[in-house]
Structure 1
């Protein structure tokens, strides 16, 4: 498997990533299963907060593995702080994982429940000189994770992303995505689980402080179907549904999952 050809099929999927990216077999890998009864209620954990500038949103891309929205991170215009974090983290990108059916797709599993999808909002610590540098540090990156649950009383916020799907149907397609504030995607309850882990895609660097929202947001079956209508192949190749782009659970080993007391 060459370094660029990883994916989610049998030939190049998660079971084989470690062949090109040995850290994928490391001790601090993500995602993990969270059991509420085993979570440590930590009195020192603070609320987290963001200040995002909608003008930082640049474009939306189908890279053949996910939908990704990129943000301008050349200065502190959109940031995350608080919670388990020290210092300021700059917003860089947002992407989504989803399944081929509504009963799977999320990467983290809470109390044995796997949701239909999971949004990852990726930030990097400004105490490092750039994103590449932050990837080499255990506290370099913070990812806010939002679980997607299919239901009736949906939050309309996913609409903006779903509306752009037709413009990026096939791998490599990109569209402008101006004026977008990802905080509209946050659930009402800001309580969270946190632990130290890794990116869930190669190279799977172990540099991530995870902040996983306890409360999922509600999306519609139609919205999930729209995501599944994307192709993981380019326009001149045969359509191949972009689905099940989630990594299976990794061992927790001796890590502690914490949540705030409140």
Structure 2
């Protein structure tokens, strides 16, 4: 997505992203810390509706920063609508952020508390924009659904993803991943917080309507451990290159309002 090198290490991590991407210090950066007591209840916020009935997943890949599942977004077969959104947004991809062994790695936090991991389902406004790229740099171009992962019992569907991770261990590796419906990764309740924000990775475009679900899903430590077997690089075993702690810390709210659904 960008020519500038960036990562999550001491020399290329979130604290210095602003050098190559000045918008990192902008007015609507993500993630944020969500304070449920400060979030205003908005009676005009309806439920979000996820029409993921047609599984259009194409492949799974390691982009050197996370594991990504891509979708066919040429039509409206997989969309999110309702809630704060004016029209349907098409599902483009989903990816995860996670911590090191025994550490939390969610990007958003709730009252200062982080979760083990966070899943982001990225959608774009195909009604207004011709391509994902055009939408990604427009203020109302993207809608990202954030789901927290808490540790506990095995998640009965996550194994479909974790079982494929060995095939994308190295950076730039890609393999087919068809007929996966992300509906199986949703919690039972779709109550949410929403606010105007940004991509949490460079180029950090301030183009995202965030919809963060209040209820986490539960996954096991063993399942999370499989994500940590991925590598940030294309080289053979270098433990320092283990893919972990690939998250950006919360950014200042700068006067933005977080709204809460029913």
Larger mean CA deviation between 232-241 and 83-92 belongs to 232-241
| 1:202 and 2:202 aligned | yes
Shift of residue 171 of structure 1?
1.1
Q: Which residue of 2 aligns with 1:131?
A: 132
Q: Is the contact between residue 3 and residue 20 of structure 1 (CA under 8 Å) also seen in structure 2?
A: no
Shift of residue 202 of structure 1?
0.2
| 1:150 and 2:151 aligned | yes
TM-score by length of 2: 0.95
| 1:85 and 2:111 aligned | no
Deviations 1:56-95 (A, max 9, x none): 1000001111000000111112111001100110000000
Larger mean CA deviation between 107-116 and 97-106 belongs to 97-106
Q: Is the contact between residue 54 and residue 180 of structure 1 (CA under 8 Å) also seen in structure 2?
A: no
Task: Show structure 1 runs of 5+ residues with no match.
Answer: none
1:158-237 superposed matches below 5 A: 158-236=158-236
Q: Is the contact between residue 4 and residue 20 of structure 2 (CA under 8 Å) also seen in structure 1?
A: no
Q: Is the contact between residue 102 and residue 224 of structure 1 (CA under 8 Å) also seen in structure 2?
A: no
Q: Which residue of 2 aligns with 1:62?
A: 62
Shift of residue 3 of structure 1?
3.6
Deviations 1:169-219 (A, max 9, x none): 111111110001111111001100000000000010000000001001000
Q: Secondary structure at the residue paired with 1:206?
A: coil
Q: Which residue of 1 aligns with 2:43?
A: 43
Deviations 1:209-252 (A, max 9, x none): 00001001000000111111111111447352100000011000
Q: Secondary structure at the residue paired with 1:5?
A: coil
TM-score by length of 1: 0.95
Q: Secondary structure at the residue paired with 2:65?
A: coil
- Which stretches of structure 1, 4 residues or longer, exceed 2 Å deviation after superposition? 235-239
Q: Which residue of 2 aligns with 1:247?
A: 248
CA distance in 2, matches of 1:87, 1:209: 12
| 1:13 and 2:13 aligned | yes
Q: Is the contact between residue 54 and residue 77 of structure 2 (CA under 8 Å) also seen in structure 1?
A: no
Deviations 1:106-155 (A, max 9, x none): 00001221001000000001221111111222111000000010013x43
Q: Is the contact between residue 55 and residue 78 of structure 2 (CA under 8 Å) also seen in structure 1?
A: no
Q: Is the contact between residue 101 and residue 116 of structure 1 (CA under 8 Å) also seen in structure 2?
A: no
Shift of residue 4 of structure 1?
3.3
Q: Secondary structure at the residue paired with 1:243?
A: coil
Q: Which residue of 1 aligns with 2:257?
A: 256
Q: Secondary structure at the residue paired with 2:255?
A: coil
CA distance in 1, matches of 2:50, 2:158: 19
